[in-house]
Structure 1
Amino acid sequence: MTIRRRAELFVAEEQDRRLDARTTGDERGMLIDFLAAQRATLELKCGGVEDALSLRSVEPSTLSLLGLVRHLADVERRWFRRVLAGQDVPLLFSTEAEPDRDFDGAVAGPAAVAEAWEAWRAEVAFAERFVAEAPHLDITADDGWRGAVSLRWVLIHMIEEYARHNGHADLLRERIDGAIGV
């Protein structure tokens, strides 16, 4: 009998780019690496089960791995494009009239999966460029919900957002194929 532990790595150590994160250094680099590791965790938890990404957790919840990808694409877009960069762009999967459409509209099919990943990757790429080009972590922007927010706060919030949802992804992935690990 093989003993399984949730604390083991989800993939082989040599394949896990999350381990590339620096453990010492300046604040900006550490925040960037922590966020990159959380983004990589989402990708890992969704990898290899593309046909099952829209599987819901439990009734009546509409939570799914595909919903998480769509939701996090919208979260990235909201904080980096809309708030920090001041772009007047709509969210991709949610609307004011349907605030949970990111989850509720996550339906099965290769086109829906491809659309979600394409959107998520585009928003992550924008965020990474924005952070790289920002002169410092203390740049601020006004958010209608939180008031003045700094880039530092947004990075910390994004780490928290991904960490919470990656916990959901752990359970969803285990339901799909029994895979466990960090």
Structure 2
Amino acid sequence: MTQGEQVAGFAWSNMFVRPEEDPRTFDGYSPDERVVLAGYLRDQRLTLELKCSGLDAEQLARRAVPPSGLSLLGLVRHLADMERFWFRRVLAGEEVPWLYRRAECRDADFEEAVADPAVVARAWADWRAEVEYAEGFLAGCGDLGAELVDADGESTSVREVVIHVIEEYARHMGHADLLRELIDGRLGQ
């Protein structure tokens, strides 16, 4: 075994999956803008699932460092609300309530992310329902540059929203890397 093989073997020893087993398959190359955006978004969503895989309710709800309320479970809840807001309210123009945020507690997605299996199950169910809605919406919309009017009368394009949602996931996956490493030492990829 060469020194390079030893280093490569060690580098993957505490990561989530080996490269050949990684479910994130989008390579970023396509002449179709919709395929590119949907592919990057799909891979960001899969990254969230990877970061949370194999953890119990206590681990998912574990806070980063005081006074932060940041946890993996809080991220799942936050991203469910984020998907709901951008795809249902902004793009579809639906007047839907927040899943977690309330007037008296804007950060309930994080603050009420407690180590309860029922809370975890609901968070994943909510997130999956919002992802399914968003995927259906994106697949069914025509021109990504078309301006749509949201429930508040503001207009934006599908392209702008999808890029923003990808950016939101990418930022939070950096947080998820740190949270997971604090929990069990597994490193991001």
How many matched pairs? 181
CA distance in 2, matches of 1:85, 1:3: 47
Larger radius of gyration: 2
Change (3 A) 1:136 1:57: same
**Distance change (3 Å), C-alpha of 1:33 and 1:146:** farther
Aligned to 1:42: 48
Unaligned runs of 5+ in 1: none
The TM-score with structure 1 as length reference comes to 0.91
* Alpha-carbon separation, structure 2, partners of 1:21 and 1:90: 36
Do structure 1's residue 138 and structure 2's residue 145 form an aligned pair?
Answer: yes
- Fraction of identical pairs, as percent: 53
* Residue 2 (structure 1) shift: 9.2
Per the alignment, residue 122 of structure 1 pairs with 129
The match for 1:32 among 35, 38, 48 is 38
Question: Secondary structure at the residue paired with 2:171?
Answer: helix
Residue 5 of structure 1: how far off its partner (Å):
4.2
- Cα distance, 1:149 vs. partner? 1.3
Please say if 1:16 is aligned against 2:12: no
Instruction: For residue 21 of structure 1, report the CA deviation from its aligned partner.
Output: 4.3
* Matching residue of 2:160: 153
Superposed CA offset, 1:96-133 (max 9, x none): 32111100110001101000000000000000000000
Q: Find the counterpart in structure 2 of residue 72 from structure 1.
A: 79
**What is the alpha-carbon distance in structure 1 between the residues aligned to residue 169 and residue 152 of structure 2?**
19
* Superposed CA RMSD: 2.3
Q: 1:112 aligns with which of 101, 115, 119?
A: 119
Q: State the TM-score, normalizing by the size of structure 2.
A: 0.88
Counterpart position of 1:85? 92
User: Residue 104 of structure 2 corresponds to which residue in structure 1?
Assistant: 97
Runs of 4 or more above 6 Å deviation: none
Worse-matched range after superposition: 58-67 or 19-28 = 19-28
